[in-house]
Amino acid sequence: MTRNKINDILRSDQTNYDVIVKGWVRSFRNNQFIALNDGSCMGNIQIVIDLNSNESIIRKITTGAALSIAGQVVASQGKGQKVEVKAKEVTILGECDAEKFPLQLKNRPSLEYLREIAHLRFRTNTFGAVFRVRHSLAFAVHKFFNDLGFIYLHTPIVTASDAEGAGETFRVTTLPFENTPRKEDGTIDFNEDFFGRSTNLTVSGQLEAELGAMALSEVYTFGPTFRAENSNTARHLAEFWMIEPEVAFNDLEANMDLAENFIRYIVQYALDHNKEDLEFLAQRLVEEEKQKPQQERSEMGLIEKLEFVCSNKFERITYTEAIEILLQSPAYKKKKFQYEVKWGIDMQSEHERYLVEKHFRKPVIVTDYPKDIKAFYMRQNDDGQTVAAMDILAPGIGEIVGGSQREERLDRLEQRMNEMNISTEELYWYLDTRRFGTAPHAGFGLGFERMVLFVTGMTNIRDVIPFPRTPKNAEF
C-alpha cells in the first residue's frame, strides 16, 4: 500500500477506509492522541492509538519523532476535526530525543531563534506555510509565462560581466591565495585562472536574456542571483532569486502592463491555492502587529491586502512627480525624513514607503528616473536627463521590481557606456544585438523573495528563503 497524504485525507469526507500515513509528531496527549504532520498541508491528522499498545512504542512517541501508521480513517468523535485515523499498527521510523529537540518548547519560538535553527524550522507551522506559498508562487511564475508563450531561458550563473555595473560581485576563481600568479606590472594574471579571465557570480541574467529576446521575442529567466552588497537589512540577501522577463518590441508602457498583470496573476494564484496557509499567516501577522504601536499597524489584513492588489490598478507616476509629492508632504515639512529630498536623489526606503503607504496606499510604478542613478542599458529619454526606467514599489516592502525599456540605438548606447566607463570592447557581444537587427525591447526583474515577503506578510527576508545568505552568515 502506498502512503496517503494527510492533506488528501483531511480534504475528503470519506470514512471507513484503510490508509498508511507517515509524518512527524507535533504533539502526543493522554498517551492516546497523536497530532501528526507530513507537510502536505498546515493541518495535522489526529491518530488515535489503542491504550493497550506496547509500552516501549508509546515511550518513543515524542514530539519530533517520525512515525508510520497503518490504520483506518473514521469519523472523529472529538471536536476540532471531521476525521481521524484509528491506528492498527504504529511503527517508529525515527526517534526524537525530546530533551534535546529544539522545537520542544511550549511557547511559540521567536523567528530570530528559528533562524538559528534554520535546518529544523521547516517543522513549524509558520515555515511550513511560508514554503508552501513560496512553492506556489514559483509554480505560478512558470505558469504565467508559459501560458503567454514565453521561453524559459537559463542564463549563466558564472559570468565575466557586471550587468548592473555596481561592482557588487562575488569573484569566482581557482587561483591560489598564496603565490597568486601576477603579471609583470604586479596585477593578478587571470590568464592563469580557470576560465582564463576574471569571472564572478551573476548579479542579473538580463544582458543574456536580451540576446535571447532578440530572436525568441519573449523570454524569461528565473534563477539565483548574487550581490555582495554589505546591506544587513530585512530586505537584502546576498543570494536571492530573480525573475527577469525580456520582450522584443515592448515599450515602457507595455513593460508596465506586463509587470502589473504578472504580479496580480501570481498573487491570485496563491489566494486560490494556499487559502489555509494564508489564513494562518494572516492570523500570525495580526498577533505580531499587536506588539506594535497603533499608528504602525497596517490598516488591512493580509488577505484583504492581497485581494486589493488583485483588483486595483497600480498608481503610475514619474520620478519627477514622486519628488514633487515628497517635497509637498507633511513628513518633509516636519523634517521627518532622515535623508535629503531633491530631484536627482536615489530615493531611500523611507521615501518609497511614504509614497506607497501614506500617500497612495497602493502599489506605485515610478517611471523616468534621472539617468545618473540608473544602469547604462536603460533607454535615454528625449529630455537628455531621464531614462525609460520603471520601479514598482509595494506597501511594506518598497522596491519589488526594477526594469526599463532598453537602449536599442547603438550610438546612444556606446556613448552612454563611454560616459560611465563601461568597456564597449568587453561587451561587444551585447552590442552586437544593436548592430545586427536591433529592435525596441523592454524587461524587468522581480525579486522573488521580496514577492514572497509581500504575499506571506513576513517581515524579514531571511524568513522566506530556506537557507538565507547574508553578510557573515552562510551556515547550513
Q: CB-based burial of residue 342 (10 Å sphere; 0-12 exposed, 13-18 middle, 19+ buried)?
A: exposed
Q: Which residues of 276-312 are buried (b: 16+ CB within 10 A; e: fewer)?
A: bbbebbbebbeeebeeeeeeeebeebbbebbeebeee
The entry of Mg ion, ligand 4AD, none near residue 71 (CB within 5 to 8 angstroms by kind) is none
Binding footprint of Mg ion on the chain (CB under 5 A):
402
Q: How far is the CB of 397 from ligand 4AD (least distance, A)?
A: 8
Q: How far is the CB of 391 from Mg ion (least distance, A)?
A: 6
Q: Using the rule CB under 6 A, which residue among 23, 64, 443, 457 binds ligand 4AD?
A: 443
Q: Using the rule CB under 6 A, which residue among 401, 413, 417, 452 binds ligand 4AD?
A: 401
Binding mask 176-205 for ligand 4AD (x = CB under 6 A): ----------------------------x-
Cβ nearer to ligand 4AD, comparing 25 with 237: 237
The pairing of beta strand 218-226 with beta strand 151-152: parallel
- Pick the stretch among 12-20, 60-68, 322-330, 393-401 that binds ligand 4AD (CB under 6 A): 393-401
Cβ nearer to ligand 4AD, comparing 193 with 352: 352
Residue whose cell numbers read 548606447: 413
DSSP E strands, 30-161: 33-37, 45-48, 66-75, 83-94, 151-152, 158-159
Q: How far is the CB of 242 from Mg ion (least distance, A)?
A: 11
Report if residue 369 touches ligand 4AD, rule: CB under 6 A. no
Cβ nearer to ligand 4AD, comparing 28 with 220: 220
Q: How far is the CB of 164 from ligand 4AD (least distance, A)?
A: 5
Cβ nearer to Mg ion, comparing 64 with 402: 402
Size of the site for ligand 4AD (CB under 6 A): 22
Q: Which residues of 238-248 are buried (b: 16+ CB within 10 A; e: fewer)?
A: bbbbbbbbbbb
Q: Are 434 and 408 in contact (CB under 8 A)?
A: yes
Query: In the window 205-244, what residues touch ligand 4AD (CB under 6 A)?
Result: 206, 227, 229, 236-237, 240, 242, 244
Report if residue 403 touches ligand 4AD, rule: CB under 6 A. yes
DSSP track, 15-69: -SEEEEEEEEEEEEETTTEEEEE-SSSSPPEEEE--TTS-HHHHHH--TT-EEEE
**Pairwise CA distance, residues 14 & 33, whole Å:** 21
**Pairwise CA distance, residues 67 & 23, whole Å:** 6
Counted residue by residue, the chain has a size of 476
Cβ nearer to ligand 4AD, comparing 229 with 414: 229
Report if residue 445 touches ligand 4AD, rule: CB under 6 A. yes
Cβ nearer to ligand 4AD, comparing 121 with 227: 227
- Pick the stretch among 79-87, 108-116, 358-366, 397-405 that binds ligand 4AD (CB under 6 A): 397-405
Report if residue 164 touches ligand 4AD, rule: CB under 6 A. yes
Please, which residues bridge with residue 89 across strands?
70
Report if residue 463 touches ligand 4AD, rule: CB under 6 A. no
- Which cell numbers in the block locate residue 422? 563601461
Query: In the window 301-330, what residues touch ligand 4AD (CB under 6 A)?
Result: none
> Which region holds residue 167: left if phi is over 0, alpha if psi is between -120 and 50, else beta?
left
Q: Using the rule CB under 6 A, which residue among 400, 422, 455, 464 binds ligand 4AD?
A: 400
Distance (Å) of CA 406 to CA 42, 193, 430: 44, 33, 12
Cβ nearer to Mg ion, comparing 245 with 402: 402
The entry of ligand 4AD, Mg ion, none near residue 401 (CB within 5 to 8 angstroms by kind) is ligand 4AD
Q: Using the rule CB under 6 A, which residue among 69, 87, 163, 417 binds ligand 4AD?
A: 163
Q: Using the rule CB under 6 A, which residue among 450, 454, 457, 464 binds ligand 4AD?
A: 450
Q: How far is the CB of 205 from ligand 4AD (least distance, A)?
A: 7
The entry of ligand 4AD, Mg ion, none near residue 367 (CB within 5 to 8 angstroms by kind) is none
Q: Are 233 and 459 in contact (CB under 8 A)?
A: no
Cβ nearer to Mg ion, comparing 398 with 402: 402
Cα diameter, the chain: 85
Q: How far is the CB of 408 from ligand 4AD (least distance, A)?
A: 14
Closest among 395, 402, 390, 453 to 235, alpha carbons compared: 453
Residue whose cell numbers read 518590441: 249
Cβ nearer to ligand 4AD, comparing 71 with 457: 457
- Helix 125-147, helix 448-456: angle, nearest 10: 120
Q: Using the rule CB under 6 A, which residue among 307, 399, 414, 432 binds ligand 4AD?
A: 399
R_g of the chain computed on alpha carbons: 26
Closest among 332, 374, 375 to 351, alpha carbons compared: 332
Q: Are 36 and 25 in contact (CB under 8 A)?
A: yes
Task: List, in order, residues 6 or more apart from 446 with CB less than 8 Å away.
Answer: 242, 243, 244, 259, 262, 263, 400, 401
Cβ nearer to ligand 4AD, comparing 230 with 418: 230
Enumerate binding residues for ligand 4AD (CB under 6 A): 163-164, 204, 206, 227, 229, 236-237, 240, 242, 244, 399-403, 443-445, 447, 449-450
